[in-house]
Amino acid sequence: MADIDPAIAAKRYAHPEALVSTDWLAEHLQDPELRILECDEDVLLYEVGHIPGAQKLDWHQHLNDPVVRDYVDRDRFQELLRSRGIDDSTPVVFYGDKSNWWAAYAYWVFQLFGFTNARLLDGGRAKWEAENRPMTTERPSFPPTQYEAPERSDERIRAFMEHARAHSDARGCLVDVRSPQEFTGERTHMPDYPQEGTLRGGHIPGARNVPWARAANPDGTFKPADELRRIYETEQNLSPSDDVITYCRIGERSAHTWFVLTRLLGYPTVRNYDGSWTEWGNAVRTPIEVGS
């Protein structure tokens, strides 16, 4: 499973091994070692139909602690992977709806536990369906493993409110990946979503707005590396040497941008602030900027 997908290699990414194309996945569906995990915003999509061999990963139930606003602990993550036939040697492909928002989020959560044998399906569920590739409602099962999870290590790739505040005060590189209307404070969520979850609109002082969708083509695939560099480096003056924090509303869209910067452009120091605007916009006496 270490082979590089030629279609992905052609896009000149820093880490082409982090992605596979729909052609590649179609050719590897019968690989007994491969595990495919579907993680969607719409948690009912899996039941409607999914890629053959895919197992459901519910971001509500499987990745988040049921009480504390945090991720699952070591024991729950370990049981999750064991129950899905995954250990450190198992190659995993994530995919989902919304151009892989939640698939990228799941990929990022797995990285918190040091699970690196993972990749995203370029284009996600939408591209697979658009190409009329096989779908099924059958739920696969695999023999459980004896996977031993390490303790979660957050601060390497995860930012907390105090880190975002320090970055803001120092005018560090904060990338707000929400829509322009959310950034200015006109909305507290994207169009066509309930305007809820936060008491105040706007953005973290000093943040630059680079909507996540600019990194994606209309079919949900990622743009090639040269186009991504024009967006993030030519337009926004980011550099691989920068210490970058990404954020959105609850952390999934910013996980998508985290993936772009770290895996596709090779930035070594990028953290996702998953508390994002629901935390910042609700905190007492937290500074907020409005407007563009």
What is the DSSP secondary-structure string of 262-282? Answer: IIIS--S-EEEETTHHHHHTT
Backbone φ, ψ for residue 175 (5° rounding): -115, 110
The confidence score (pLDDT) of residue 1 equals 52
| Amino acid at the residue 181 | Q
The answer to whether residue 195 is domain-embedded is: yes
The confidence score (pLDDT) of residue 257 equals 98
Would residue 248 show up in a list of annotated catalytic residues for this protein?
A: yes
The confidence score (pLDDT) of residue 197 equals 78
The confidence score (pLDDT) of residue 199 equals 86
* Residue range(s) defining the domain that contains residue 119: 6-130
Q: Do 252 and 190 fall into the same domain?
A: yes
The confidence score (pLDDT) of residue 76 equals 96
Q: Do 72 and 167 fall into the same domain?
A: no
Is 38:55 a contact under the CB 8 Å cutoff? yes
The confidence score (pLDDT) of residue 63 equals 94
Q: Do 256 and 209 fall into the same domain?
A: yes
Q: Do 119 and 162 fall into the same domain?
A: no
Q: Do 167 and 80 fall into the same domain?
A: no
How far, in whole angstroms, is CA 40 from its chain's centroid? 11
Instruction: Tell me what the mean pLDDT of segment 110-129 comes to.
Output: 97
As for how many domains the chain has, the answer is 2
The answer to whether residue 153 is domain-embedded is: no
CATH code: domain of residue 199:
3.40.250.10
Span 37-67, pLDDT tens digits: 999 999 899 999 999 999 999 998 999 998 9
Q: Do 10 and 126 fall into the same domain?
A: yes
User: Looking at the predicted structure, is the pLDDT value of residue 111 above 60?
Assistant: yes
Q: Is the dihedral of CA 70, 122, 23, 89 positive or negative?
A: negative
Rounded-to-10 torsion of CA 78, 99, 178, 59: -30
**What's the rounded Cα separation, in Å, for the pair 37 and 45?**
13
User: Looking at the predicted structure, is the pLDDT value of residue 192 above 80?
Assistant: no
The answer to whether residue 173 is domain-embedded is: yes
Overall size of the chain counted in residues: 292
Q: Which of 137-141, 195-199, 202-206, 267-271 has the lowest mean pLDDT?
A: 195-199
Tokens describing residue 136: 């099924």
Instruction: Tell me what the mean pLDDT of segment 10-31 comes to.
Output: 97
Instruction: Tell me what the mean pLDDT of segment 123-145 comes to.
Output: 97
Parallel, antiparallel, or unpaired: how do β-strands 118-121 and 244-247 relate? unpaired
CA proximity to 101, closest of 156, 153, 177: 177
Span 223-266, pLDDT tens digits: 999 999 999 999 999 999 999 999 999 999 999 999 999 999 99
Q: Do 105 and 193 fall into the same domain?
A: no
Confidence of residue 195 (pLDDT cuts 50, 70, 90): confident
Is 87:149 a contact under the CB 8 Å cutoff? no
Among candidate residues 57, 174, 248, 260, the one labeled active-site is: 248
The confidence score (pLDDT) of residue 258 equals 98
Q: Is 247 helix (H, G, I), strand (E, B) or coil?
A: strand
> How is the chain split among helix, strand and coil, in percent rounded to 5?
35, 15, 50
What Cα–Cα distance (Å) separates residue 205 from each residue in 106, 134, 223, 282, 288? Answer: 28, 47, 29, 15, 6
Q: Do 186 and 121 fall into the same domain?
A: no
User: Looking at the predicted structure, is the pLDDT value of residue 2 above 70?
Assistant: no
Portion of the chain with pLDDT greater than 70, in percent: 99
Q: Do 104 and 170 fall into the same domain?
A: no
How far, in whole angstroms, is CA 290 from its chain's centroid? 26
The answer to whether residue 289 is domain-embedded is: no
The confidence score (pLDDT) of residue 292 equals 83
pTM given for the model: 0.96
